[in-house]
Amino acid sequence: MNTNIAKSQRCGYVAIIGRPNVGKSSLLNRILGQKLSITSKKPQTTRHKLLGIKTTDLSQILYVDTPGIHKEEKRAINRYMNQAAKGVVRDVDTVILVTDRTDWQKNDQEAADSLKGGRGQLIIAINKVDLLKDKTSLLPHLASMHERFPAAEIIPISAENGENLDALEAAVEKTLPYGDFLFAEDQLTDRSERFLVAEVIREKIMRQLGEELPYAVTIQIESFKVRGKVIHIDGIVFVERDGQKAILIGKNGAKLKRIGTDARVSIERLLDQKVMLKLWVKVKSGWSDDERALKSLGYDDI
């Protein structure tokens, strides 16, 4: 690489953290300009760290989407998600702490407390400001946040409609060190296609059955084979109880068929190739509170 170019290029890691359901994944998707991280209205949809890479002429910003940080750790999966999110903070150049309008809860404080000992520059993104009926109500909250975090840059945004994201991205870029790019300029993530496919399937289940099966579901891709112009994917949907299995399958298999159809359409868009998707539902009792089971199901990237 030309050394003059390298001296002008910036490259660094940026953690996106916050309590559940403040819009972290929506923010990553909006910044990248395409869907990478799954989203739903249900809190704790994100369970894994997810790297999203944005490359421009002079910068490569490595955004790390994280699970929502929450105080209560009722099950092993909750402990896993908290550890995954909090562990990122120690190793990044910059942290974006995402909050929801003028709201500040105990889980926001839990996320803020996790920053202690981190070396990264802090930027606070106050999200969903487009939903504020009275924009003047933001002013005292901004003053309070400046008092609480005097060293942070605080930027009101809307991940939903892109409001003020240019300012956020410019602020992030200024915090990053100069250096060579770490990934190919056209690379979007370091995650495998298998991982992304499993996440798409889980998103469809969360969106269609979030009330009935909020957190009891996880996905394992058993087979991923390219045959000619078609990718054949077999996936297992694990639940914890027989009753949950019945809900997921639905009468005469209708619910599972609909989930599979919706997932296949999104996977074809993701992979830009025709897909044949087959899904099975199995019961794995207590998987979400069993550390060994979690590791066997892919929850091992802390």
On whether residue 228 sits in a domain, the answer given is yes
CATH code of the domain containing 208: 3.30.300.20
Looking at 141, 175, 209, the residue that finishes a domain is: 175
In a domain, 183, yes or no: no
Whether 11 and 150 map to the same domain: the answer is: yes
| Contact between residue 52 and residue 65 where contact means Cβ atoms under 8 Å apart | yes
Q: Which pLDDT value is given to residue 114?
A: 94
Give, for all 302 residues of the chain, the pLDDT tens digit.
454 555 689 999 999 999 999 999 999 999 999 999 999 988 889 999 999 999 999 999 999 999 999 998 889 999 999 999 999 998 899 999 999 999 999 999 999 999 988 888 999 999 999 999 998 999 999 999 999 999 999 999 999 999 999 999 999 999 999 999 999 999 999 999 999 999 999 999 999 997 888 788 999 999 999 999 999 999 999 999 999 999 999 999 999 999 999 999 999 999 999 999 999 999 999 999 999 999 999 998 87
Please tell me the predicted confidence (pLDDT) of residue 7: 67
Same domain, 169 and 50: yes
Query: Is the distance from CB of 75 to CB of 289 less than 8 angstroms?
Result: yes
Residue 6: per-residue pLDDT? 54
pLDDT of residue 248: 96
Q: Judging by DSSP bridges, how do beta strands 94-100 and 153-156 pair with one another?
A: unpaired
The CA distance from 258 to 250, in Å, is: 10
Residue 1 has a pLDDT of: 47
DSSP three-state, residue 252: helix
Domain count, the chain: 2
* CB neighbour burial string for 70-99, b if at least 16 within 10 angstroms, e if fewer: beeeebbbbebbbebbbebbeebbbbbbbb
Residues 225 and 116 in one domain: no
The answer to whether residue 181 is domain-embedded is no
